[in-house]
Structure formats: C-alpha cells, structure tokens
Amino acid sequence: MKRIDDADALERSDDDPFVPDWRESDDGNGGGRTIDWASFSHAFTPTALRHRAIDISVSTDKRRYEPSEPVEITVEFRNRLPFPIRLRTESPKRWVWAVDSYREASQVPRTVPDRPATFSFARSERKRFRRQWSQRIRVSDDEWEPVDAGTYAIEVRINRADAATRGLVDRTEIVISG
C-alpha cells in the first residue's frame, strides 16, 4: 500500500488551471481584487449629499486688528461622512478666498485655466490651510493700497459658480480699528 506522501497526492502542478496562483495578487495576501472607494462613492453618492458632506470654516486669530497688522486666516474643509467624497471645481484652483468680494484681496483679474478639476476628500478627512492678509488690496500688477479702518468680510468657498447655493461657503468678519 502506497502512502499519500509517496504518491505526490498533496502536490499540485503549476500548470493546473483550477488552482489559484496567490503570487499574482496585488497585496500578497490572496486578495487581488480591490475596490477604488473614491470612485465607488462618487458614482453612488447623490450630488446633493456630496455637497452637504463638506463643512467649510474660516477663522482669524483675533477679531480686532490695528492698522497694518497682518491678519492670520485659517481655512478648514472637513468631510463629515465616513466614506470618500469628490466635488467638481471650475478650475484646478480648488478653493478661493476673498476680502469684501476682492478675490485674494486683489482687484486684478486672475487668469486660471477654465478646465474643470476635482477636490477630493478621504473618509472623515480634514484639510487645513493658512493664509495671511496684509490689510492691502492689490490695484495693479505691482501696486497695493492699504485699506481704511472699518469692518471687512473674509470669505472662503469651493471654486464653483453655485458654491453659495450649495452651502460651500463660509465667512467671518474682522474689524480694523483706526
């Protein structure tokens, strides 16, 4: 009587088409199939829910400033959902800030490519950015004018034409004392 060990009954040929080849998997653990969760989420999440998922906040280091004192601006975007979210934007510049409707505190029009892009967030991701405003408004390519004392609104929005109607905007006010 032949033993199983001697009969090579437990060995398999590399040519056997019915034996999975674990060496070809992507992760080495036999799980060659993976899901692109960002694409899956984008395909199956309703557009209205995608817009409500992103929380935008803008804040400054204080409320009242002396003339010529730099204003520290903190912008935060947060995905409130436990799965990835991707929003379309009008250009590769995914978000913009403005002071009293002057984009990036400038009266000079900016040339940004008109090709659309996306602003992507991983599940529950926070993105934080810092900017500084020198209390000046750009009036030409090489000239900046200081602002007068008063109240100024700093606004941040996703770079979309419908950002305000979609709730993708936040603003805060500061006071420059005179």
pLDDT at residue 19 is higher than 70? no
Q: Assess if residue 169 is contained within a domain.
A: yes
Q: Assess if residue 45 is contained within a domain.
A: no
CATH of the domain at 158: 2.60.40.10
∠ Cα 56 40 168 (to 5°): 15
User: What is the band of 25 on the pLDDT scale with cuts at 50, 70, 90?
Assistant: very low
Query: What's the pLDDT tens digit per position in 93-148?
Result: 999 999 999 999 988 887 767 789 999 999 999 999 999 999 999 998 889 999 99
Structure tokens at 3: 């033993």
Q: Region 162-166: what's the mean pLDDT?
A: 94
Q: Assess if residue 76 is contained within a domain.
A: yes
Mean of pLDDT over the chain = 84
Number of domains making up the chain:
1
Question: Is 39 strand, coil or helix?
Answer: helix
Structure tokens at 72: 């520290």
Q: Assess if residue 75 is contained within a domain.
A: yes
Q: Assess if residue 141 is contained within a domain.
A: yes
Query: What's the pLDDT tens digit per position in 108-121?
Result: 887 767 789 999 99
100 phi-psi bin (left φ>0, alpha ψ -120 to 50, beta other): left
Range of the domain at 166: 54-176
What pLDDT score was predicted for residue 21? 53
Structure tokens at 15: 């040519």
pLDDT at residue 47 is higher than 90? no
Q: Assess if residue 166 is contained within a domain.
A: yes
What pLDDT score was predicted for residue 20? 54
Q: Are strands 85-89 and 136-140 parallel, antiparallel or unpaired?
A: unpaired
Query: 166, 51 in Cβ contact below 8 A?
Result: yes
What pLDDT score was predicted for residue 51? 85
